[in-house]
């Protein structure tokens, strides 16, 4: 199947008063048409910066310094602002982390949806209104004809997130990027939002990138997982491979943080330590300082990527040791 998005050796920096932050350091992954990909990792691992780099939505002090971003076989890294605006919304939709700050509180939900639709389509305001009602209905908002006249504060957190998904889907994009779409929502609403995204993927055939710090959310909706740490991809593979055959210590640490029904009184095992300083990134593996199995080489040289099989790869000097010990 053909790749819809391909990111190769992406490097992004931010220039700050404290120094240059090396936020991304050689990130590579691909996404096929109709596929769902999860990008997981702790806060500060580079998940959101990766997608902001793809969308060309970095702040003024941010810059993609190296790499390629291919969308539909087109290099989009060097597109002009006007050219990129045609891709945003029309071909790539994005759901941001906090719907309350993404929606304008002084405009009705309907007026905001209509504005997006009319910006990307040559249709009348009446036609845009009909499309907006249709989109609210698609994402499961009851009485859309009535609710379209209401303001964001009149919606619950889960309903605001549905509005954001509807906004992202207005122009029927080929790719939907969802950045922590269930943050601050209770477990029941989280499940509803993820189920909605799964149904929309099946109905429309669009691809999805789900950014999250919670590996437990991705099993039912995603096909592949990219695990990020310290601005790099440490492991990637199918959901089955990552959950049943993890090889990187960081991935294992994340999996041990997921609550299980059969845990009883067993405590969750947190990953000790702190993420690396990306102003002064370590010369070796970014996880070496926190890794219980780190060797001397881990501290002085970055590990190379190793293919475990055609659907699974990781960057870890301990890879062969893991295999020999049967810990995979």
pLDDT, one tens digit per residue, over 214-262 is 888 888 899 999 999 999 999 999 999 999 999 999 999 999 887 776 7
Question: For residue 164, what is the enclosing H or E element?
Answer: helix 157-169
Contact 72, 91 (CB under 8 A): yes
pLDDT at 57: 93
3-91+173-325 CATH fold: Rossmann fold (3.40.50)
Q: Which of 120-129, 212-221, 256-265 has the lowest mean pLDDT?
A: 256-265
pLDDT digits (tens, 9 = 90+) for 33-56: 999 999 999 989 999 999 999 999
Residues present in the chain in total = 328
Domain boundaries, the chain: 3-91+173-325
Contact 189, 182 (CB under 8 A): yes
pLDDT digits (tens, 9 = 90+) for 267-317: 777 888 899 999 999 999 999 999 999 999 999 999 999 999 999 999 999
pLDDT confidence bin for 68, thresholds 50/70/90: very high
User: Does the pLDDT of residue 1 top 80, yes or no?
Assistant: no
User: Does the pLDDT of residue 328 top 70, yes or no?
Assistant: no
Q: Which of 45-54, 97-106, 163-172 has the lowest mean pLDDT?
A: 97-106
pLDDT at 325: 44
User: Residue 28 phi/psi, 5° resolution?
Assistant: -140, 135
pLDDT at 324: 42
pLDDT at 268: 74
High-pLDDT (> 70) share of the chain, %: 95
Rounded CA separation 292/275 (Å): 15
Higher pLDDT, 124 or 320: 124
Q: Produce one character per residue of 43-76: b if its CB has 16 or more CB atoms within 10 Å, e if not.
A: ebbbbbbbbbbbbbebeeebbbeebebbbbeeeb
pLDDT at 220: 85
Contact 185, 193 (CB under 8 A): yes
Over range 18-38, report the average pLDDT. 96
Query: How far, in Å, are 27, 56, 73, 209, 212 from residue 11 at the CA level?
Result: 7, 13, 20, 19, 20
């Amino acid at each position: 199947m053909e790749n819809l998005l391909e990111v190769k050796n992406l490097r992004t920096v931010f220039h700050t008063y404290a120094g240059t932050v090396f936020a991304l350091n050689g990130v590579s992954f691909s996404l096929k048409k109709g596929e769902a990909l999860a990008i997981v990792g702790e806060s500060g691992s580079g998940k959101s910066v990766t997608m902001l780099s793809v969308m060309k939505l970095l702040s003024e002090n941010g810059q993609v310094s190296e790499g390629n971003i291919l969308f539909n076989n087109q290099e989009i890294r060097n597109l002009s602002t006007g050219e990129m605006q045609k891709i945003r919304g029309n071909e790539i939709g994005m759901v941001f982390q906090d719907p309350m700050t993404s929606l304008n509180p002084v405009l009705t939900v309907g007026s905001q949806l209509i504005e997006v639709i009319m910006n990307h389509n040559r249709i009348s305001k009446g036609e845009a209104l009909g499309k907006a009602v249709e989109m609210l209905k698609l994402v499961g908002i009851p009485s859309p004809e009535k609710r379209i006249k209401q303001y964001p504060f009149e919606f619950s957190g889960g309903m605001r997130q549905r509005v954001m998904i509807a906004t992202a889907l207005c122009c029927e994009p080929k790719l939907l990027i969802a950045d922590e779409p269930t943050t601050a929502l209770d477990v029941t609403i989280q499940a509803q939002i993820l189920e909605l995204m799964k149904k929309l993927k099946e109905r429309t055939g669009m691809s999805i990138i789900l950014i999250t710090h919670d590996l437990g959310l991705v099993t039912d909706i995603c096909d592949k997982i990219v695990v990020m740490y310290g601005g790099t991809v440490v492991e990637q593979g199918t959901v089955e491979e990552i959950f049943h055959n993890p090889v990187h210590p960081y991935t294992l640490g994340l999996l041990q943080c997921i609550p299980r029904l059969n845990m009883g009184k067993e405590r969750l095992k947190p990953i000790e330590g702190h993420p690396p300083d990306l102003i002064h990134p370590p010369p070796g593996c970014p996880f070496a300082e926190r890794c219980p199995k780190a060797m001397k080489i881990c501290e002085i040289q970055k590990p190379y990527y190793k293919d475990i099989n055609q659907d699974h790869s990781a960057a870890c000097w301990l890879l062969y040791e893991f295999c020999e010990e049967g810990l995979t």
